[in-house]
């Protein structure tokens, strides 16, 4: 007799839910939503509505959550604060949260990345190392540590950690990780290995950044013509910055190609007549070509932007002095 | 930051980044200043010695703290910072001598990491007891022996780079700058911490640590012909310690005096790099790896400014570089 009774009760319950859904869908939504109290907040975060996230995820809100959700809520709050540019507040939220939930790797990673981004690499390194002590296979922590050590100038250690990070298949498919690895190898003067790494990045995605890295490596190897060609490739990519043109102008000067350098500088000045470095390139190119009046005029213009580009201005003023001007 | 790193940083922001799984490098130097610095630096470092200013490196004393110099040297070497002459005091003299003998920074770091008080002195329970109770100082004869083991019984004139180290004559209070003779004995004299290590008898003088009189030997570098001097200074933060024993008190006085002196002498340098090692006690060799890292970090941060300063001082030389630009400059001058 019991089994039919139980079956009947189950049926009754299902019917009650159906009735509830028909009668009040909103009530049913709120009942289901209660299972994931952070769903709404997560959606706000995904929609970059950080201000709202901060308003909702208050310490009182977090206090009502279970451990796992509370940790996630802290993460959402800290990340939102960081996105809003309130870095010191975000750091203090992360600092407290990582102490409250020391096993939550997402919090630890967020904290470490924010420390790295806040120019606190020493502290970031310690947090990344802490994560790796608990989980040596964490590719994000490995990558974060490599980047932090790169920023600190510990290039050999950084290269070692990039190598380990690249053992993870998802990282090995990421051209940016190969590029960063190439950069740290270049930083320690290991040009051939760096070139291999940047070629790997280029095989995955031919973007301006990778061409630029290739150009820099080639220039450091003394292959200036190849470097100039690679830099031109970088400049051809979509949304290339004028800084690439400025670099090209300087490198053409190094290659004793003054007419081309002058052409490059003029192109830049057409877009921005207040480009002090383009004036400097033009001045040096004009000087090389014997256009001495033009050279002085351009150098004076380069010297005029001491607030925007103090070093360009200082060098230009000193050169003008050497030339007997000013 | 190494030369490449800065070059790359200068361009990193310039290159167009699509949506990246990995964010762009943290500190993009997208400025025109960065690009010009890189351009002129590559020209300056390509100039042979004699066609640019003679660059000197002055390394301060500081015992364990001064291991930071090896971090500084690591960064300078990577950046191809031209170093033509070296001067050092105390631990700075030991590191300077090794560097001037041709040891690369990697080797210097390895040597520094292996240092313990027993390596350079007769440190031990009995000798310490004799120091405290019998006022018999330790001896650093082993420092001299270790240097000979490292680079042989070399004389100053035989080193790869001109080198000088500083000691003080205990009788006259004179500053003695060594530039000739056997290197290891002079370096030993330069690193004989007064009150703890016995003076070194050499050339009819009783010599003690040069840090007492010349902790940042900028003058010694200039004596060697340096026209532009970079000083690496590893000062103690004496405000953090509370001496409890007579020896600690003596050390505190030396630290205060050394810091005041070092600040004055640093003003003579064209550029100063000051690693954050103030909290490391001079005797704590276990903190040497920390000091080396601090040297790397400090040099990395200050390198762009150091390069800019040297470039500006070298512009007359740079403009003399043969090529079409020189001819034009000559015409302009006429």
End-to-end Cα distance, chain A? 110
3-class secondary-structure state, position A256: coil
Judge whether residue A270 has pLDDT over 50. Answer: yes
Report the residue count for chain B: 334
| Residue A252: closest CA among A213, A281, A274 | A281
Kindly give the residue spans of alpha helices, DSSP state H, lying in chain B.
Answer: 3-12, 32-46, 68-78, 91-100, 105-113, 117-120, 125-133, 141-151, 183-190, 218-223, 246-266, 288-319, 324-333
Determine the residue among A243, A298, A325 to mutate to test chain B binding: the one whose Cβ has the most chain B Cβ atoms within 10 Å: A243
3-class secondary-structure state, position B271: strand
- Count of other CB atoms within 10 angstroms of residue B168: 26
Question: B273: which strand partners?
Answer: B232
Mean pLDDT of A279-285: 97
* Residue tagged 């975060």 (tokens): A45
Judge whether residue B199 has pLDDT over 70. Answer: yes
ipTM of the complex: 0.79
Least confident of A237-241, B185-189, B310-314: A237-241
Q: What pLDDT is recorded for position A6?
A: 41
Both tokens of B72, joined, read 């500084």
Task: Tell me whether residues A311 and B308 touch, CB distance under 8 A.
Answer: yes
Task: Tell me whether residues A312 and B36 touch, CB distance under 8 A.
Answer: yes
Q: What pLDDT is recorded for position A10?
A: 54
Determine the residue among B1, B6, B8 to mutate to test chain A binding: the one whose Cβ has the most chain A Cβ atoms within 10 Å: B8
Task: Tell me whether residues A119 and B26 touch, CB distance under 8 A.
Answer: yes
Mean pLDDT of B45-63: 92
Judge whether residue B8 has pLDDT over 90. Answer: no
Q: Residue A311's closest chain B neighbor by CA?
A: B33
Q: What pLDDT is recorded for position B125?
A: 66
Binned at pLDDT 50, 70 and 90, residue A241 comes out as: confident
Q: What pLDDT is recorded for position B126?
A: 64
Domain boundaries, chain A: 265-326
> Which carries the bigger pLDDT value, residue A137 or residue B9?
A137
Q: What does each C-alpha distance from B117 to A36, A285, B286 come to in angstroms? A: 61, 59, 10
Task: Tell me whether residues B299 and A183 touch, CB distance under 8 A.
Answer: no
Mean pLDDT of A260-277: 96
Q: What pLDDT is recorded for position B323?
A: 43
Q: What pLDDT is recorded for position B302?
A: 95
Summarised one tens digit per residue, pLDDT across range B84-120 is 999 999 999 999 999 999 999 989 998 888 887 666 6
Q: What pLDDT is recorded for position A19?
A: 47
- Count of other CB atoms within 10 angstroms of residue A112: 27
Both tokens of B155, joined, read 């004389």
Q: Residue A147's closest chain B neighbor by CA?
A: B25
Judge whether residue B309 has pLDDT over 90. Answer: yes
Please give the share of chain A, as a percent, with pLDDT higher than 70: 89
* Residue tagged 């971090």 (tokens): B71
Pairing of strands B55-59, B205-209: unpaired
Q: How far apart are CA A45 and CA A55, in angstroms?
A: 12
Q: What does each C-alpha distance from A29 to A13, A18, B75, B199 come to in angstroms? A: 17, 13, 61, 86
Binned at pLDDT 50, 70 and 90, residue A59 comes out as: confident
Q: What does each C-alpha distance from B92 to B3, B63, B107, B217, B238 come to in angstroms? A: 25, 8, 16, 9, 19
3-class secondary-structure state, position B85: strand
Q: How far apart are CA A61 and CA A40, in angstroms?
A: 13
Judge whether residue A223 has pLDDT over 90. Answer: yes
Q: Residue B20's closest chain A neighbor by CA?
A: A176
> Which carries the bigger pLDDT value, residue B169 or residue B134?
B169
Mean pLDDT of B190-215: 80
Task: Tell me whether residues A216 and B2 touch, CB distance under 8 A.
Answer: no
Binned at pLDDT 50, 70 and 90, residue B136 comes out as: low
Contact pairs from chain A to chain B, CB under 8 Å: 176
Please give the share of chain B, as a percent, with pLDDT higher than 90: 43
CB B182 within 8 A of CB B153: yes
Burial letters for B230-250: b for 16+ Cβ neighbours within 10 Å, e otherwise?
bbbbbbbebeeeeeeeeeeee
Q: What pLDDT is recorded for position A45?
A: 94
Which residues of chain B lie closer than 8 angstroms to A289, CB-CB? 324, 328
Q: How far apart are CA B275 and CA B76, in angstroms?
A: 14
Which residues of chain B lie closer than 8 angstroms to A310, CB-CB? 33
Q: What pLDDT is recorded for position B82?
A: 96
| Residue A208: closest CA among A218, A216, A219, A197 | A216
Rounded to 5 degrees, what angle do the CA atoms B258, B217, B221 make?
A: 170
Catalytic site positions of B: 90, 209
| Residue A45: closest CA among A4, A106, A96, A135 | A106
Q: Quick one: chain A helix, strand, coil %, rounded to 5?
A: 80, 0, 20
Q: What pLDDT is recorded for position B29?
A: 64
Q: What pLDDT is recorded for position A101?
A: 92
> Which carries the bigger pLDDT value, residue B132 or residue A117?
A117
Rounded to 5 degrees, what angle do the CA atoms A203, A204, A210 make?
A: 75
Mean pLDDT of A30-57: 81
Q: How far apart are CA A124 and CA A114, in angstroms?
A: 8
Task: Tell me whether residues A322 and B315 touch, CB distance under 8 A.
Answer: yes
Least confident of A259-263, A310-314, B48-52, B303-307: B48-52
Task: Tell me whether residues B13 and A310 touch, CB distance under 8 A.
Answer: no
Both tokens of B211, joined, read 């840090």
Against a cut of 0.80, is the pTM above it?
no
* Residue tagged 């056997």 (tokens): B182
Binned at pLDDT 50, 70 and 90, residue B211 comes out as: confident
CB A280 within 8 A of CB A298: yes
- Min Cα separation B74/chain A (Å): 9
Q: How far apart are CA B180 and CA B166, in angstroms?
A: 12
Least confident of A73-87, A94-108, A272-286, B182-196: B182-196
Q: What pLDDT is recorded for position B137?
A: 64
Which residues of chain B lie closer than 8 angstroms to A237, CB-CB? 15-16
Task: Tell me whether residues B328 and A288 touch, CB distance under 8 A.
Answer: yes
CB B234 within 8 A of CB B291: yes
Mean pLDDT of B288-311: 95
Both tokens of B240, joined, read 């953090």
- Count of other CB atoms within 10 angstroms of residue A230: 23
Half-sphere exposure of A301 (CA within 13 A, CB side): 20
Least confident of A260-274, B37-51, B233-247, B284-298: B233-247
Q: Residue A208's closest chain B neighbor by CA?
A: B15
Instruction: Look up residue B209 and give its DSSP letter.
Output: E
Q: How far apart are CA A40 and CA A50, in angstroms?
A: 12
Q: Residue B321's closest chain A neighbor by CA?
A: A254
Q: What pLDDT is recorded for position B115?
A: 82
Q: Which of B17, B35, B324 sits opposite A250 (nearest CB)?
A: B35
- Count of other CB atoms within 10 angstroms of residue B57: 32
Q: How far apart are CA B35 and CA B183, in angstroms?
A: 42
Determine the residue among B16, B279, B315 to mutate to test chain A binding: the one whose Cβ has the most chain A Cβ atoms within 10 Å: B16
């Amino acid at each position: 007799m019991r089994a039919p009774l139980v079956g009947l009760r189950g049926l009754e319950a299902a019917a009650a839910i159906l009735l509830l859904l028909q009668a009040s869908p909103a009530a049913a939504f709120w009942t289901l939503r209660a299972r994931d109290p952070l769903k709404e907040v997560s959606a706000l975060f995904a929609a970059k509505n950080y201000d709202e996230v901060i308003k909702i995820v208050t310490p009182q809100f977090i206090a009502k959550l279970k451990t796992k959700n509370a940790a996630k809520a802290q993460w959402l709050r800290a990340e939102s604060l960081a996105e809003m540019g309130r870095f010191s507040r975000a750091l203090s939220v992360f600092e407290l949260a990582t102490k409250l939930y020391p096993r939550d790797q997402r919090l630890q990673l967020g904290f470490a990345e924010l420390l790295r981004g806040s120019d606190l690499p020493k502290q970031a390194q310690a947090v990344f190392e802490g994560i790796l002590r608990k989980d040596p296979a964490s590719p994000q922590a490995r990558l974060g540590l490599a980047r932090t050590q790169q920023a600190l100038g510990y290039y050999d250690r950084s290269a070692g950690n990039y190598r380990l990070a690249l053992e993870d298949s998802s990282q090995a498919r990421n051209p940016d990780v190969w590029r960063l690895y190439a950069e740290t190898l270049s930083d320690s003067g290991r040009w051939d290995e760096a070139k291999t790494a940047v070629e790997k990045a280029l095989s995955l995605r031919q973007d301006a950044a990778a061409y630029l890295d290739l150009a820099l490596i080639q220039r450091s190897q003394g292959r200036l013509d190849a470097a100039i060609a690679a830099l031109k490739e970088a400049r051809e990519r979509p949304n290339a910055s004028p800084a690439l043109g400025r670099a090209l102008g300087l490198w053409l000067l190094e290659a004793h190609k003054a007419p081309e350098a002058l052409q490059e500088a003029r192109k830049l000045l057409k877009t921005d007549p207040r480009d002090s470095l383009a004036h400097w390139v033009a001045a040096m190119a004009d000087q090389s070509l014997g256009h001495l009046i033009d050279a002085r005029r351009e150098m004076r213009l380069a010297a005029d932007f001491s607030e925007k580009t103090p070093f360009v201005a200082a060098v230009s003023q000193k050169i003008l002095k050497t030339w007997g001007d000013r | 930051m190494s030369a490449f790193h800065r070059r790359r940083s200068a361009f990193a922001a310039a290159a167009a980044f699509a949506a990246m799984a990995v964010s762009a490098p943290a500190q993009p130097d997208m400025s025109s200043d960065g690009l010009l610095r890189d351009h002129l630096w590559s020209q300056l470092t390509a100039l042979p010695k004699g066609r640019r200013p003679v660059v000197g490196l002055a390394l301060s004393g500081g015992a364990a703290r001064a291991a930071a110099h090896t971090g500084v040297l690591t960064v300078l070497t990577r950046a191809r910072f031209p170093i033509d002459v070296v001067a050092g005091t105390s631990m700075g003299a030991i590191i300077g001598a090794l560097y001037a003998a041709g040891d690369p920074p990697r080797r210097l770091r390895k040597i520094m990491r292996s240092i313990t008080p027993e390596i350079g002195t007769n440190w031990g329970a009995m000798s310490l007891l004799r120091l405290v109770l019998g006022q018999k100082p330790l001896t650093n004869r082993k420092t001299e022996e270790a240097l000979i083991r490292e680079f042989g019984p070399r004389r100053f004139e035989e080193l790869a780079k001109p080198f000088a180290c500083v000691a003080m004559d205990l009788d006259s209070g004179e500053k003695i700058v060594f530039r000739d003779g056997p290197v290891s004995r002079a370096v030993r004299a330069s690193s004989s911490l007064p009150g703890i290590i016995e003076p070194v008898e050499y050339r009819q003088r009783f010599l003690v640590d040069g840090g007492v009189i010349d902790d940042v030997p900028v003058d010694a570098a200039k004596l060697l012909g340096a026209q532009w001097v970079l000083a690496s200074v590893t000062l103690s933060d004496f405000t953090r310690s509370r001496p409890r024993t007579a020896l600690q008190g003596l050390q505190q006085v030396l630290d205060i005096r050394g810091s005041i002196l070092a600040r004055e002498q640093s003003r003579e340098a064209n550029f100063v790099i000051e690693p954050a090692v103030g909290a490391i006690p001079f005797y704590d060799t276990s903190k040497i790896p920390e000091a080396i890292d601090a040297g790397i970090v400090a040099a990395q941060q200050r390198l762009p400014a150091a390069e800019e300063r040297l470039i500006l001082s070298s512009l007359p030389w740079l403009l003399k570089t043969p090529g079409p630009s020189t001819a034009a400059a000559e015409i302009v001058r006429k």
